[in-house]
Each structure stands twice: as structure tokens, then as C-alpha cells.
Homo-oligomer: A and B are copies of this chain.
């Protein structure tokens, strides 16, 4: 793993390793933590469900496993800061300089959040919010020390794909992935998929945690200083269309002739309609072959293409198109923002063919 920070632990796999398997193993799955990794005992852990519910609940892991139907969903998890490093090349941004590996695709198993909310008698009112409180202590500059918390809108919370997960690829969650219980919100930025989940609250406003109020917002490009008016930011939930070249690696030396390009593409809640690749910086394009599992709409699409490279320097590029005929902006400058989120311009990799 490429470790951006040992404490809190933030690490991502090399891209060729990520692309080696459609389902990302736990050891290869990026780790994004905001504080120390809690050590929790599954036997004594309790989940409280409260707020605007008719029947507050306190549930053990055993309760969750036995009182609710088990559900599995194959889904991508990705950090809102995935590919942030490219924005740093435009102008400096905050946060760890993720390459394209702050993403993974796993089969998550647990129970539907909707089932738990219904058991607690939560009103199915789309104007409400479902807040998650967690066991990890977080420190943010200027915000002090607090427990991690976020929220999602009720309409998404009631969607069948949103899980309270206790397993990943058929095994218990590893400590760094939220053992014993985490939220999985397919399509949303990873920050909403709260780990080490302790409490759920149904409420009229979004979470008042600084993570929800002051972080994970898309700021307009004219905010460049440290003094940030957060009210001008848009809360990041659904993630945009994105694609990356995983192989060959940046600055790789390859043999001149046919070269295989491989990567991923993702379009939260939409399908990938087409993936274009270029060997000349985007002047000429060819279409990649797509590999997708139609039974797993929240998973990613793998793509591959073979391009004929003459000896010399080449700028390889990928861009994806979603099912609404929407495509990605060409340059990182087109999406630059102070916090370095949603870096989703064409992905470019320079290689040399000998």
C-alpha cells in the first residue's frame, strides 16, 4: 500500500494491483481514517437508534444478524478525494494527495438500513435526515476534538442498497474498515459510509458534526484562501462520473508496438455507456472494451483497450461517458477546488515506448 499518513492511517493500493481483481480484497482496499482506529468488541457492541422514531432501539450485533433479513450488495466505495494529486498540480489543495486508488469494489453484507429504520418506526418523510455517530475520535484544525459523525437524506437512507454492513467479501470487517459495523451508502462519497457505527438518529437537520458541516463540501473555484465560507459549498453525496488508467503506470517504460491499457470507470447510479482512450493526449480516440456485471449496478466497470504505440513519448488518456451521454471535463483546472474533491477530469498517463 502507498501510505499517505500513518496516523490517522490513510493508504491506497498501487493502481495495477487494484485493477487485478474486479472484487477488491480487504488487504488491497484503500483505508481512509480521520482518527485512531477503535478497537471494538463485537460481543458487547451496541447500536442505538433514536431521534424522531416511534420506538427507540438498542441492538447487539446478534440482534442485527437475527432480527433482520440479511442483504448483500456489491458496491464501489470511493473517497471524495480520490485523484486529488492531479488538482495539486494546478494549485495547492488541502488533504492527502491520493492517486487514483482511493476506490475499491466489494461485496458488502449486513442488513438494510431501511429495515432497521422501519423497525424503529421512523417516519418515511423525505425531508428528514439520518445521522450516524461513530466511535472514532477525530481532530480537525480549528474544530477541536469530537466523535466522527455524518448524515444522509432520508430518501437515500430508505433505498434498498444502503446497508448496515458487518462483512466485506464474506469475512468480518477488518478493524480499519469499521469492525464490527459500518454504513455502506452505494453511490455516495465514502465519508457518508460511516465506520465503527454506534448510533443512528432520525432528525430534521443534517448532522451538526464538523465533518458534515465543514468538510466534504465542493467549494467554488474562487475560494482559494484558508478562510473558507462553508455556506458557499455544496454537500458532497453522489459521486461524479470518473475513470482512470491503472495500467500502464505513470512514467512507465513500455515496449513499442501493441500496448494493453486497463482501468476502471464509475458512474454512481448510472451506467457507463462508453469509454474512450487516446494515445495522443486526446486528439484521436478509440473505444475500450467494457466489463460490467449487470446484476451489480453499484459496482464499477472495468475497461481495456490495446493501442499501437510507436517508439517515443505518449500521453495516454481515458474519458468515460455515462448513460445520459454526459462525459468528463478535459483538464484538472476545470474542476479545481480548494479542498481537492471530485477530481474527475480526463485521466492522463505519460509513458515512454522503446
Contacts and interface: CB of A to CB of B under 8 A. Distances in A.
A134 B84 CA distance: 51
Given A232-B287, A334-B330, A325 B238 contact: yes
A241 B326 contact: yes
A207 interface: no
A274 B325 contact: no
Given A221-B285, A273-B234, A276-B220, A268 B329 contact: no
Nearest to A282: B334
Contact of A325 (B240, B284, B330): B240
Given A241-B326, A330-B334, A234 B274 contact: yes
A224 to B, nearest CB: 11
Interface in A278-333: 284-287, 321, 323-331
B324 A327 contact: no
B329 A234 contact: no
A237 interface: yes
B324 A218 contact: no
A341 B237 CA distance: 29
Interface in A187-246: 218, 220-222, 232, 234, 236-241
Given A232-B287, A285-B220, A240 B324 contact: yes
Contact of A218 (B240, B325, B330): B325
Contacts of A321: 218, 234
Nearest to A328: B329
A123 to B, nearest CB: 19
Contact of A285 (B222, B285, B323, B344): B222
B236 A325 contact: yes
Contacts of A270: 238
Given A285-B220, A287-B220, A341 B325 contact: yes
A342 interface: yes
A240 to B, nearest CB: 4
B268 A324 contact: yes
Given A220-B276, A276-B220, A237 B323 contact: yes
A298 B132 CA distance: 31
A244 to B, nearest CB: 16
Interface of A: 218, 220-222, 232, 234, 236-241, 268-270, 273-274, 276, 284-287, 321, 323-331, 334-335, 341-342, 344
8 contacts: A220-B276, A222-B286, A240-B325, A240-B326, A240-B327, A241-B324, A327-B329, A327-B335
Given A220-B274, A325-B342, 6 more contacts: A220-B287, A238-B323, A239-B324, A325-B344, A330-B330, A330-B334
